[in-house]
Amino acid sequence: MTQPSVFNDEVIGLGTWHMGESRSAAPLEVGAVLHALQHGVRVIDTAEMYADGGAERIVGQALKAFGAQRREQVCIVTKVLPMHATRDGTIAACEASLRRLGTDYVDLFLLHWEGNVPYERTLEGFAALRERGLIRAWGVSNFDLPELATWCATEQRLGLARCASNQVYYSLLSRGPEFDLLPAMAAQRMPLMAYTPLGSGELAQDARLAAIAQPLGLTAAQLALAWTVRSGGVIAIPKSSTPQRIDDNLAAASVTLDADTLARIDALYPPPQRKRPLAMI
């Protein structure tokens, strides 16, 4: 499946939740994001919510060190909180994110999760931001299939551009999206951003996964990430503040898993047999 241009065919990015929470960890975190950029990670996920803007500041410092002339090589994704997602609130939130990120535009601006604001109002804000060149594309997060269908129908009714992605919890510990959301998004050629793809680190420590991974020359984390992006149309955004792990995670982008390996993984973490409400962290 073809990825739309916003991710430029990347399948592994970098998450930043919990970065920017402590002053003492900030230099290490800026260094980690800069390391990621210098070693080929091209999609960085952040949000106004993370450390109350602190994670965006970490990303901003790393982007500055990476070099303003290289900004276009990077896809920056950030998110507006539902409580801010009125037309004017969305615009103000984006402008504040841009100040913290130290950049003129974000590549993808997501509604973090559904709140009480009608979709029309948020979309008016997104459209105004896109008109001004402050965002390249917009999307949603934590939307299950009915909400996504309504959102897309609203865009169509208003004659607006289409939602570029839906970011949801998708990992071996949360295979629910495979039942209907992922196939429906694939049919529309809309990429799914898989958050918490390592189960907050739990899958990296999974001895049963490690036993499958080791003969393949992989770590358990790499196996979990390669599995997450196996079908195409998915970009995983593992978070790490550790340079070696960032490199290992990115290397999973070039791993192809054979049918036997996928069957062994299915035996450990079975695919969904029925619809369940979308899990959210």
Q: Which stretch binds ligand NAP (CB under 6 A): 101-109, 124-132, 236-244, 271-279?
A: 236-244
Which token pair is 171? 């990992």
Among 245, 250, 253, 261, which residue sits at the site for ligand NAP (rule: CB under 6 A)?
245
| Strand runs labelled E in the chain | 14-15, 43-45, 75-80, 106-111, 135-141, 166-169, 192-195, 234-236
Shortest approach of ligand NAP to residue 157 CB, angstroms?
26
Min dist CB 131 to ligand NAP, Å, is 25
Q: How many CB atoms lie within 10 A of CB 208?
A: 13
CB of 143 to ligand NAP, least distance (A): 10
Site string for ligand NAP, 187-216 (x = CB under 6 A): --------xxxxxxx--x------------
Instruction: Enumerate residues 136-175 that contact ligand NAP by CB under 6 A.
Output: 141-142, 167
The Cα–Cα gap between 231 and 70 comes to: 30
Selected binder of ligand NAP within 209, 212, 237, 265 (CB under 6 A): 237
| Out of 7, 12, 16, 144, the residue judged to bind ligand NAP by CB under 6 A | 16
**97 lines the binding site for ligand NAP (CB under 6 A):** no
φ/ψ of residue 75, rounded to 5: -105, 110
In DSSP notation, 30-45 reads: HHHHHHHHHTT--EEE
User: Residue 26 belongs to what H/E stretch?
Assistant: helix 26-38
Give me the DSSP letters along 237-255: --B-S-HHHHHHHHHGGG-
Positions marked catalytic: 50
Which residues bind to ligand NAP, rule: CB under 6 A?
Answer: 15-17, 45, 112, 141-142, 167, 195-201, 204, 221, 237-242, 245, 248-249, 281
